[in-house]
Amino acid sequence: MQKRKLGRSGLEVSAIGLGCMGMSFSYGPPKDTQEMTAVLRHAVEAGITLFDTAEVYGPFFNEELVGEALAPVRDRVAIATKFGFDLSPGRDPRSSPGLDSRPDHIKAAVEGSLKRLKVECIDLLYQHRVDPNVPIEDVAGAVKDLIGAGKVKHFGLSEAGAHTIRRAHVVQKVTALQSEYSLWWRRIEDGILPVLEELGIGLVPYSPLGRGFLTGKIDANTAFAANDFRSALPRFSPEARQSNQTLVDLLSSIGKRHGATTAQVALAWLLAQKPWIVPIPGTTKSSRLDENINATTLTLSATELSAIGTAGAAVQGPRYPEKLEQITGR
């Protein structure tokens, strides 16, 4: 497995990580614990060293799954998790959790994550979403305290805007930004990527396969279960899927020339953008995991990269409903 460093932080991880959310959250009902444990341990044996989870995935039981599965190989992996939502017992469980990045809440959340992950120190701790009610300097200061106490190694942000990244970085150096980035969603290219390069911050793209669309396994006729959150996303409407099929067809044709899958071409394009980008595609199958890993050995020509980029720029449909989009990119 190839390795990459997340910016200038010194944190070196596998060129592709594993997003664990879908094992127990958002994509239908939670998967079988024993099966997911097998996938997680297979990932380690295959060379993956970066595993991504969050307290809100479940809530809580995704961290428990990851912690239990990786406990025997803790010295071989880096575990990333996230804080930033109100998951207190008194809240209405039928409602979406609100944002909460108050320093005291951050420190309490970290104590819970440490126990669930069965670790003494979290390798990479992200603020899950920017909280407009808490100055980012206070958030960075709280994480700085946790780093000083030996409970966290690296600080990250998720879906943060350029100004927020700069302000946080002054207080506590930011190791990585986790944001959606792929041929499916490229808005961060203009305002965010230059700032990351300037400050020496790595990028960890989530949904690097467009929530499955860039695998070529989804088309306009695909039906999603009611508890699959893609059913509520504008970009997954039948009309948008039909419009965006052109991109998938191009990826497929290029893949055939290389003996590669559509998903591998999409990941290879992403890996070629910057040497400090580490995608975290999610999967619940060991075979798909191996397929994703093999994308690191695929080299696309400049002509192919250009053609793919041009096609990707024409993707149609909003990423999220307006309400959700409002809490990203602050």
pLDDT in tens, 171-191: 999 999 999 999 999 999 999
Report the alpha-carbon distance of residue 41 to residue 286 in Å, rounded: 10
The pLDDT value recorded for residue 323 is 73
100-137 burial, b for 16+ CB within 10 Å, e for fewer? bbbbebbbebbebbbebbbbeebbbbbbbbbbeebebe
The pLDDT value recorded for residue 92 is 67
The pLDDT value recorded for residue 67 is 98
The pLDDT value recorded for residue 27 is 81
Residues of the chain with pLDDT under 50: none
The pTM (predicted TM-score) of the whole model is 0.94
Identify which of 181, 320, 314 has the alpha carbon closest to the alpha carbon of residue 249: 314
Query: Which CATH architecture best describes the domain 3-325?
Result: Alpha-Beta Barrel (3.20)
Q: Is 137 within 8 Å of 119 (Cβ atoms)? A: no
To the query of whether residue 27 is one of the catalytic residues in this protein, the response is no
Identify which of 154, 120, 134 has the alpha carbon closest to the alpha carbon of residue 85: 134
Q: What is the DSSP letter of 224?
A: -
The pLDDT value recorded for residue 320 is 85
Report the alpha-carbon distance of residue 212 to residue 224 in Å, rounded: 12
The pLDDT value recorded for residue 238 is 92
Among candidate residues 57, 126, 181, 206, the one labeled active-site is 57
Give 73: exposed, middle or buried? Use CB within 10 Å, 0-12, 13-18, 19+.
middle
Helix then strand count (H, E) for the chain reads 12, 9
The pLDDT value recorded for residue 257 is 97
What sign for the dihedral angle of Cα 294, 296, 301, 303?
positive
Report domain extents, the chain. Answer: 3-325
